[in-house]
Structure 1
Amino acid sequence: MLSAGVAVIRRDDDSGDWRLLMLRAYQYWDFPKGQVESGETPLEGARREVAEETGITRLAFHWGHCYFETGPYAQGKLARYYIAETPEEEVVMGINPELGRPEHQEYRWMDFDEAFRLTSPRVQRVLRWLRRRLEPADGEEDASGGA
């Protein structure tokens, strides 16, 4: 079973540092993600999940369609993560019709250090990949580009 999600990022207005949107379900912090539905591509599913779980729809995939996969984990799931930047800061956690409440209890815009402290080893692997993608190598102007 494939879950798809997005490492949603934005620049901090004051410091210019990257902030990562993390969601908490019970004690687990992760990026917005969910099961890819029949007829969807993984990227379409990832975009839909971000909109449903956060209300964020303005996503710029400056890094192309590159992704990182983790898994298998719980019940044989694979999780695929894309990277997208958003200018949106406000998060509206939508009501899951099956649950009658939001899927998550909390959200936070975090820096990398806080995200590493709060996440599981599986999500920490995604964070390491994300950090490498965002930090330009010596001599490069930015970290955008393909896989």
Structure 2
Amino acid sequence: MSAGRRPSSRPPAFSAGVVVVRRDAEGWRLLLLRAYRDWDFPKGALERGESPLDAAIREAEEEAALRDLAFRWGDAYCETAPYGRGKVARYYLAETSETGITLPVSPTLGRPEHHEGRWVGLDEAARLLPPRLQPILAWARARLGA
């Protein structure tokens, strides 16, 4: 689905997340999180009555302890094509000034949801992210003017 279009109905599984970026001397850095061998941006399922943007903000805090998010590009988003069992993930773009990475312990799991977090450049992100997230990365890159 193209960026900014609203789906006519929700897919069977729907999640929301944030492409978190920060700028340093080398350019834009993106936060990637790894669970097992899979790299992704912070994201997760919506809770009952929660908007996708609110879910994305909550997931960034739950998965990476990020509270300093500036949605400089507004509430525009980009969604993945359906994957897995028809799941669709919506991503927003936000900037942070935080440089550290914290992987909080999930009360449900008793451990962090992810095994690793990294700040990476755009080229490294392209190497690490799976094919389903390459359009999200291209969308973010275009919005960043990079």
| TM-score (ref. length: structure 2) | 0.88
For residue 3 of structure 1, what is the aligned residue in structure 2?
A: 15
CA deviation string 1:54-73 (max 9, x = no partner):
01101000100000000311
Distance 2:66 2:144 in 1: 21
Is this contact kept in 1: 2:101–2:118, CA < 8 A?
no
Equivalent residue of 2:70, what SS? Answer: coil
Q: How does 1:1-147 map to 2 (within 5 A)?
A: 1-12=13-24, 14-15=25-26, 17-135=27-145
* Superposed displacement of residue 96, structure 1: 1.5
Distance 2:82 2:66 in 1: 28
Equivalent residue of 1:75, what SS? Answer: coil
* Superposed displacement of residue 116, structure 1: 0.6
Equivalent residue of 1:84, what SS? Answer: strand
Aligned length: 134
Distance 1:105 1:71 in 2: 26
| TM-score (ref. length: structure 1) | 0.88
**Structure 2 portions without partners, runs of 5+:** 1-12
Superposition RMSD in Å:
1.1
Distance 1:33 1:128 in 2: 18
Which amino acid is the alignment partner of residue 70 of structure 1? T
